[in-house]
């Protein structure tokens, strides 16, 4: 008997399916400086192991989204999870940095199925504030992974070496495959038999980009997501190399941000049904932009060197909490206008996000100078971009008298 949609077990399973992406990124973060040292390469080349995962994710999203609309969510999710598991196993035995980059691409391509279809499964069954509430609940559970992932990664590096991280990911993928096969029901009631036809794909993309709410919410979330990846890509080098934090201790700093993301999700989950999606989205973008400006100001004035880690992390903590409010509301806003193509909408959102994350992540590590400046600069620009889009494209329009 499959789990009941909307129940805690069902939402937890969807969080595990969608959470392989965050887990695969966050558990590897403490290993990025280690990989750079192990293969005698520059930080930005080690960061390409993350960039390749995101590239595979972006391409995979384009494939899995339409497949999920055509053949149903369940079989496509299972196929993607199998590819993810195989990619993790290949990464664990890769002999060079180039082989790791390639294997991570495969892993990302498989993880994309859960990333794009987990929210689509919720949208199949629920809409409006109820859908946003369940998305917040799913993301709150999903964030438990990032809460402990860097701690697990740091511990595995210290005790068994960096390859143990990818063995762990392959094993996790295998467990989720078994659970999804046993407990995930099919949520798509009317498969789109034309979903894979080029004319239908182009028509769906035109519908998406012709809808102001879809585009605006997608780019707000992309800016916020890009700011998140500026922190994700930059923080291992800022904290471990810049401030000399031990590899095993890095996970505690990252866990603090994951805890605040859970807090933001929880606040949104409790308030969205009374305040509404638009009000919460607006509050989240204001708070994120304020954090971005504060972070850049502290870095540009050199106060992070004087005040230390606290001056670097305080703006990050504020932003992460705000991001927990922004993401579920913009996700709901992206998929709400066209429920018949929720898979395609989620796929387009994912492609835009991952493309931005790859560029931002590479740029932050490329211009890393031993200080938080490149990370703070990227976070500031992107959070201000999200606020600008929210206040222009989605501002309430006056009613004609």
User: How many residues does the structure list for the chain?
Assistant: 401
Tokens of 225: 């997501």
Q: How far apart are CA 51 and CA 303, in angstroms?
A: 30
Please tell me what DSSP assigns to residue 240. I
Question: Could you state, in order of their start, the residue ranges of all structural domains in the chain?
Answer: 8-185+195-393
Nearest C-alpha neighbor of 192 from the set 349, 18, 73? 73
**Angle, CA 62 vertex, CA 235 and CA 379 arms, to 5°:** 25
Four-point Cα dihedral 18, 24, 26, 27, nearest 10? 130
Q: How far apart are CA 50 and CA 21, in angstroms?
A: 11
CB 309 within 8 A of CB 245: yes
**Residue 132 CB neighbours (<10 A):** 27
Give the torsion sign (CA, 157, 160, 165, 168).
negative
Give me Rg for the CA atoms of the chain.
Answer: 20
Q: How far apart are CA 26 and CA 235, in angstroms?
A: 11
Nearest C-alpha neighbor of 371 from the set 291, 296, 305? 305
Tens-digit pLDDT string for the chain (401 aa) = 678 787 888 888 998 998 898 889 888 888 888 888 888 888 778 888 888 998 898 889 888 888 888 899 999 999 999 999 999 999 999 999 999 999 999 999 999 999 888 888 887 878 777 777 787 788 777 767 767 788 888 889 889 988 999 999 999 999 999 999 999 988 888 887 887 888 888 888 899 999 999 999 999 999 999 999 899 888 888 888 888 888 778 878 877 887 888 888 888 888 887 888 889 999 999 999 999 999 999 988 877 766 778 888 999 999 999 999 998 889 888 888 887 777 678 778 888 888 888 889 888 888 888 889 999 999 999 999 999 999 998 876 654 44
Nearest C-alpha neighbor of 360 from the set 11, 12, 4, 54? 54
Nearest C-alpha neighbor of 130 from the set 267, 395, 328, 320? 328
pTM above the 0.85 mark? Answer: no
Domain at 8-185+195-393: CATH architecture: Up-down Bundle (1.20)
CB 70 within 8 A of CB 158: no
DSSP calls for 15-65: HHHHHHHHHHHHTTTTHHHHHHHHTT--HHHHHHHHHHHHHHHHHHHHHHH
């Amino acid at each position: 008997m499959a789990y009941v949609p909307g129940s805690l077990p069902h939402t937890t399973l969807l969080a595990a399916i969608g959470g392989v992406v965050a887990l695969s990124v966050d558990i590897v973060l403490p290993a990025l400086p280690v990989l750079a040292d192990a293969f005698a390469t520059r930080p930005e080349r080690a960061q390409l192991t993350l960039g390749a995962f995101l590239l595979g994710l972006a391409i995979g999203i384009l494939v899995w989204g339409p497949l999920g609309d055509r053949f149903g969510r369940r079989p496509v999710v299972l196929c993607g999870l199998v590819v993810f598991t195989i990619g993790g196993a290949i990464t664990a035995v890769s002999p060079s940095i180039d082989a790791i980059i390639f294997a991570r691409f495969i892993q990302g391509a498989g993880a994309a199925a859960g990333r794009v279809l987990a929210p689509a499964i919720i949208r199949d069954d629920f809409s409006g504030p109820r859908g946003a509430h369940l998305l917040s609940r799913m993301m709150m559970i999903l964030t438990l992974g990032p809460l402990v992932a860097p701690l697990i990664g740091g511990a595995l590096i210290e005790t068994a070496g960096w390859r143990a991280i990818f063995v762990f990911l392959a094993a996790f993928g295998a467990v989720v495959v078994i659970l999804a096969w046993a407990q995930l029901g099919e949520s798509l009631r009317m498969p789109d038999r034309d979903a894979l036809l080029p004319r239908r794909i182009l028509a769906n993309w035109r519908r998406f980009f012709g809808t102001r709410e879809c585009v605006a919410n997608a780019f707000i979330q992309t800016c916020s997501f890009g700011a998140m990846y500026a922190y994700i890509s930059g923080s291992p080098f800022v904290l471990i190399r810049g401030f000399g934090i031990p590899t095993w201790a890095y996970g505690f700093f990252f866990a603090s941000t994951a805890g605040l993301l859970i807090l933001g999700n929880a606040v949104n989950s409790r308030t969205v049904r009374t305040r509404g999606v638009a009000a919460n989205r607006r509050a989240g973008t204001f708070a994120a932009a304020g954090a971005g400006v504060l972070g850049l100001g502290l870095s540009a004035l050199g106060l992070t060197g004087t005040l230390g880690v606290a001056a670097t992390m305080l703006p990050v903590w504020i932003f992460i909490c705000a991001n927990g409010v922004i993401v579920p509301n913009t996700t709901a806003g992206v998929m709400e206008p066209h429920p018949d193509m929720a898979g395609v909408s989620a796929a387009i959102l994912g492609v835009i996000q991952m493309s931005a994350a790859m560029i931002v992540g590479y740029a932050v590590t490329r211009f890393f100078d031993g200080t938080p400046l490149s990370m703070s600069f990227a976070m500031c620009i992107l959070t201000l971009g999200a606020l600008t889009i929210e206040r222009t494209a989605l501002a309430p329009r006056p009613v004609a008298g």
